[in-house]
Structure 1
């Protein structure tokens, strides 16, 4: 897809406006003025703060226009080039719904920002609006794209967002995600002051184009129309006047859910269309094994006798793979494997139809073109218009790159043994329900594998559940052996975490998350066709740990959203249990005690600044004394070396170098969260709450003394109030409890904070070295977590049993 560079897309509409962050004469007779602080706004010289919809100007496929997306021949760069974190933004149809951002200011010497004014209500105001070319508002659909059409509402300071001074900028910090796909206008007002007590001034460019007086050139008039539409929209409610405004900028949030919604529709369509493969879970007849025997084969003994009452089986399911297959064995060979559209973008199709007129082909020109027409109701085509085929709200059909025969793990209760355990527990004996055992889908964490989830199958069997589980893509039995030598080249369970959470290509990381969700949707549907009378595919729940919890909100939101009354029961999930999950992926990864140093070190190595070379040299020399023993483990070695390097800079008082490092990490965080947004659970949490699906969540918050909070996914993140485990629980509408919840008529949703235990306590009582938990405390946490999950799922959210209140807190 050809796209216009920033210098073309933006400068073309403002040529002749001039102006930057310092005031300059725009008329020959302008008198000299005393230098004032201004808002940085000089698009002609690529000086704009992001997010800003001016980067949508001239788009041909509905995505952001980022400098560097075209080569010297005006052709889109190869797909692998989008591994560049900044360039990755060019694959998106909008900005992040949740990452904090800054609006930059310029100050003359001796003048600075009045931090109190920047952190108070009124300095920044945010308005939700409907833009032109709207797909949902008939009136606004007739207004040109890029023009603000009508005001929806103003956001509330302190509820929806807060602000604060940040050096020479104003930082805007969302307190809840913006609505995916919606547009907002950020307004800076005269309440924003400098250290002299004066209002910050608009840049000369903004001052010129915000006036309603006639301008000279067409380019000036174009930008004037855009800015005037912003100001007209936000002032239409009567709560702010144009005299109050020193800056305004629109930001459209990227879409979230449409592509995964299309995946569900394609799965549903496979019921009636032979051309689309229908997932079916195949469970061949094999000699019966127990989970106890499986553990024994791995050298694990001394477990609860209940594991002898859990039958273990293996099956498979064919699932569409939208991730591409790497052609080489280096991690860089994953860069082009992110999802791709099957068709041309709808924006490109409409643009071509408008220009082609009667010559626009109404009949399919190829088999794939016909498929695009059939699957989209004629809205999408494959006419060779779109080189990149980025998936957006305008292009929602992903291309199936391959079909994967995915191993499935199945467990079922063995009644004589399970009932003996239940009698010992004082519980009534079980009888298999008439429709078969209800099912819990299990989903493991990152670098783990489906077999690790067997640790909770005894508790679930005691509660009368069968379970099914698959590996995340590029995990466990789903590793990728490119060269056929019998060893996986890409497997996050046995190799690098980058095989899945690929920091070298954020679009691959995003689509790894989406592939996990797509796989769960396919597995859920495939359970309806097992041919097993002892499995009840009409009664399915879900349990996720860590990464399994991260992908769960998207899975639940899509699976439980109504599609068709005949199809909905095939996807429905009755209740959900999540252990150690979290939202705001980029923020919590950067601040994770376990993964943060590795992420930050990797970012620094790739940043290309002076400190990058210095850190590389430090890693190969000084760091070896304390980190050399970890050299075989890339993640551990980089993390250790980074901590050593930053520690040495801190001891030496190298504040400028530390600031440079923090700067590149902050830039990466913005790009990473923006790129990952459509796979982030925070963007699906409100849908889960609205659907009313009962959700239980456990979070290790620590005891404030020796037992630390979760060291992998922090409960809270200092830099982003939306990120972490507890904010995700809040967004899903979970109620914090610390004692047994009596049976209720309607399902409820709860979060339980554990003072004891660690990130993986739901599966193992053995404490990790970095958790600070004792063996006894860790074992108590595991027992309590598993019991809470079992009773909650068994009651489908109508009851929660809390037995050991010593390991939980309000």
Structure 2
């Protein structure tokens, strides 16, 4: 419409010219018209920047509608096909809370984005709103879904987010996570300029639908109603006018807590409902064994501290509910459909089916209604009973059963008997060390038994590696318990039951992809959630152990690496108020985290240890010409430097580094840009898919709960001194300011300290930054990343001392002895 008006105006001007001027004179005197730069927006032709809630329009089950997710008959793709990173978003009830995103722009030849305007206050504004069909706001409940309803406030540029130019796009970079389950409207304004100093213009489509003139087709009218609702909401605050707006788009952030919260409710319900499995830690009678004997049984360990002779080692078990299903083959692709699924039908899908049936009745076509659609399935009673009558099991409705805020009840696939590692102080030995070596008073077992530390290991590790902490904890009077993460250690998957694991993420026994599954992001997400769910069940199961030497009402937690990554989700749920009669059964009194971090997709891509493998794996599976070229290069020229051409973790990592370096040396900037584009798209999809398992989204809950948290991070001492920062989970990432270790600590409200903290009445949360050591220093004194053997050993000693003294005071005090290796 605006293009048509423009052409009429030019014609009129030409027709009105007089004074003997010829048309040729006008042409010569008129400066050339350079087309305007515009925002890319044409939903009818699939041109839309994400995140955008237009992809929620017409949802079948409350999840995003991804192009080609449905076939011509409106039937969803198979569960396995959701392994595709793009399709994985179709299993989610919203967008990521933290991943940077872009709004694409179109420029005419020789015109570009004015970078200063892209990073300036006012060019992009973000408003928090309530959308229609709200579950929480009665005023907006009756407003159509997808329409803007109510303005809640505006985010602050430079505090909540920043923007910058990114090629032919403006990038929006969160500085704080968006609120889970909340909705926002992104607005681009006329302050956004091109290189000629002109304001960027709306697309012709946006110009049409943002106007008041009624349009013709049903789809045009629907889009016009949605866009007008966005603009009406954001302008209702009086701080912006419609004339300022060149684009607006809504985004609803996905839910992150309902599913794990439901699991806690299921665990609590198991105390009264015999139909639900009640976890119980069992420790059978067994011969006395020390941790020293266990450690020395490893042929790679030849010497251990005498203190480990003062730690008793026991084995027990706990039966856990598994929400991951078993693969049906040995190939990694067979894990693709093992992610969690709902027990019940999505109520959104049920409402859609009811509406479709009613439409047939209204049209007089009752004979076309399928009466079997509402036939009940085997989980109907559980769905009704566990949801207060809100959910049903209709097997023909909602076949995919994606878990969302509408449908948060997961289906238990199996029960797994999981080995539990237990340690306890052996008083004669421990007291000899305390009194003769450390000058500490002798210990006695408290009347209620030893307080318990739940320990959780890192990725590619196993529970036995956490035994390295047990001596320092025993000296402080702690017992410990630990289990393996899913698909680690003794919990590997043996598909054909031949005694050999087909999937195991523990180093030396399998591939990290068995857990952090890059080929199926939903599986990776649900491995994280299974880890958190297992810890919740283990914590509850401790209350029913038949061992009076354990005080299971006094429990703290230690996590290392992946154990620290899953900890915020676990602790946030464990300590969330639920029912006064059971809250104490889940309580975690204080927490110690070593080498953790948030923003999983971002830190994996930038990890010095895992980044090349992740990037190489993503490129190999991208299906582009560069993918094929990399495969050929890795199996050919790279072999001489990387060893065998087999697709092992090491050969992919090394091969990718060699390939990338060769492209840079050859000046292949176009190929490098394409590869970077592939990685950026993967990062967006991966972080969005992983969000509900990401610790960043639980950090604010940890802070609000006031649970005392200690965290240590190796930040290094600079290139000149040689000790590198953590090479597995970077303290900070270049492309996402809220990813890495330090942002997670900040979001949890931790205070950086370098000196001993004297006792306080209430627990406090601290961050200690180490200049020496490496990712696994808390467990191993072996030198790495530039530190000497003495410096590495000193770091291990100091980390373990800090953790033990922090936990023994339940977070009320912290001892820092070696101030030479910590920094602010």
The TM-score normalised by the length of structure 1 is 0.95
- 2:415 alignment counterpart: 403
What is the rounded CA distance, in whole Å, between the counterparts of 2:783 and 2:134 in structure 1?
Answer: 53
1:404-461 CA distances to partner (integer Å, 9 max, x unpaired)? 0000000011111111111120111111111111100000000100000000000010
Matches of 2:810 and 2:556, distance apart in 1: 8
Which residue matches 1:25? Answer: 4
Distance in 2, Cα, partners of 1:602 & 1:364: 44
1:681-702 CA distances to partner (integer Å, 9 max, x unpaired)?
0000000000000000000000
The aligned residue for residue 10 of structure 1 is: none
Matched, 1:386 2:387: no
User: Partner of 1:551: helix, strand, or coil?
Assistant: helix
1:211 correspondence with 2:211? yes
- Cα deviation for residue 29 of structure 1 reads 4.1
Match status 1:570 vs 2:585: yes
1:595, 1:111 → 2: CA distance? Answer: 39
Matched, 1:765 2:781: yes
Q: How many Å separate the matches in 2 of 1:74 and 1:226?
A: 23
Q: CA deviation at 1:214?
A: 2.5
Shift of residue 628, structure 1, vs aligned partner: 1.2
Which residue number in structure 2 is paired with residue 469 of structure 1?
482
Aligned CA distance change for structure 1 residues 690 and 361 (closer, same or farther; 3 Å): farther
Alpha-carbon distance between aligned partners in 2 of 1:247 and 1:471, rounded to the nearest angstrom = 49
Counterpart in 2 of 1:425?
A: 438
Check conservation: 1:206, 1:247, Cα contact below 8 A. Answer: yes
Give the whole-Å Cα distance in 2 for the aligned partners of 1:611 and 1:298. 44
Paired residues of 2:373 and 2:397 also in contact (CA < 8 A): no
Hey, what does 1:343 align to over in structure 2? 344
Deviation for aligned residue 1:28: 8.0
Q: Cα distance, 1:185 vs. partner?
A: 0.2
- In the TM superposition, 1:659-678 aligns within 5 A as 659-678=673-692
1:684 aligns with 2:685: no
**Alignment of 1:745 onto 2:754:** no
Specify the SS of the correspondent of 1:752. Answer: strand
Match of 2:493 among 480, 483, 487: 480
Match of 2:503 among 490, 513, 523: 490
Q: What residue is the counterpart of 1:634 in the other structure?
A: 648
Query: In 2, Cα distance between the equivalents of 1:87 and 1:214?
Result: 35
Note the C-alpha offset of 1:30.
Answer: 6.2
Moved over 6 A (4+): 357-364
Partner of 1:264: 264
What is the distance in 2 between the residues matched to 1:67 and 1:401?
Answer: 30
Distance change (3 Å), C-alpha of 1:805 and 1:699:
same
**Residue of structure 1 in register with 2:536 after alignment:** 521
Q: Normalising by the residue count of structure 2, what TM-score does the alignment of the two structures yield? A: 0.94
Deviations 1:468-510 (A, max 9, x none): 0000000000001111221100000111000100000000000
The superposition leaves residues 81-133 of structure 1 with CA deviations (integer Å, 9 ceiling, x where unpaired) of 01100010000000000000000000111111100000011000000000011
8 Å contact kept, 1:364–1:370: no
Give the secondary structure class of the aligned counterpart of 1:395. Answer: coil
Q: 1:172-227 CA distances to partner (integer Å, 9 max, x unpaired)?
A: 00001000110000000000001111100001111111112222333222111101
Match of 1:508 among 515, 523, 529: 523
1:534 aligns with 2:545: no
Change (3 A) 1:216 1:354: closer
CA drift at 1:367 = 3.2
Structure 1 residues 653 and 214: alpha-carbon distance in aligned structure 2, compared to 1, 3 A threshold: same
Checking the alignment, whether the CA contact within 8 Å between 2:376 and 2:392 is kept in structure 1 is no
Shift of 1:761: 0.2
- How far residue 353 of structure 1 moved from its aligned partner, in angstroms, is 3.9
Q: Are 1:163 and 1:170, in contact at CA under 8 Å, matched by a contact in 2? A: yes
| Superposed CA offset, 1:505-524 (max 9, x none) | 00000000000000000100
Mean Cα deviation higher: 294-303 or 336-345: 294-303
Q: Is the partner of 1:757 in helix, strand or coil?
A: coil
Query: Contact 2:296 / 2:304 at 8 angstroms: preserved in 1?
Result: no
1:661 positional shift: 0.6
CA distance in 2, matches of 1:120, 1:206: 23
Assess if the C-alpha contact under 8 Å between 1:767 and 1:778 holds in 2.
Answer: yes
Match of 2:153 in 1: 153
Larger radius of gyration: 2
Give the whole-Å Cα distance in 2 for the aligned partners of 1:297 and 1:624: 36
What RMSD, in angstroms, separates the aligned Cα atoms of the two structures?
1.6
Q: 3-state SS of the aligned residue for 2:547?
A: coil
Shift of 1:351: 2.7
- The answer to which of 130-139 and 218-227 deviates more is 218-227
Question: Does residue 451 of structure 1 match 2:467?
Answer: no
Distance in 2 of aligned mates of 1:223 and 1:527? 55
Contact 1:712 1:759 in 2 (8 A): yes
Instruction: Give the 5 Å matches for 1:44-443.
Output: 44-299=44-299, 300-356=301-357, 365-383=376-394, 384-423=396-435, 424-443=437-456
Consecutive unaligned residues in structure 2, runs of 5 or more: 12-32, 362-368
Q: Secondary structure at the match of 2:393?
A: coil
Partner of 2:418, secondary structure, is strand
Deviation of residue 350 (structure 1)? Answer: 2.6
- Show structure 1 runs of 5+ residues with no match: 1-18
CA distance in 1 between partners of 2:664 and 2:731 (Å)? 27
Q: 2:379 aligns to what SS in structure 1?
A: helix
Residue pair 1:716, 1:725 contacting (<8 A) in 2 also: yes
Distance 1:615 1:743, change over 3 A: same
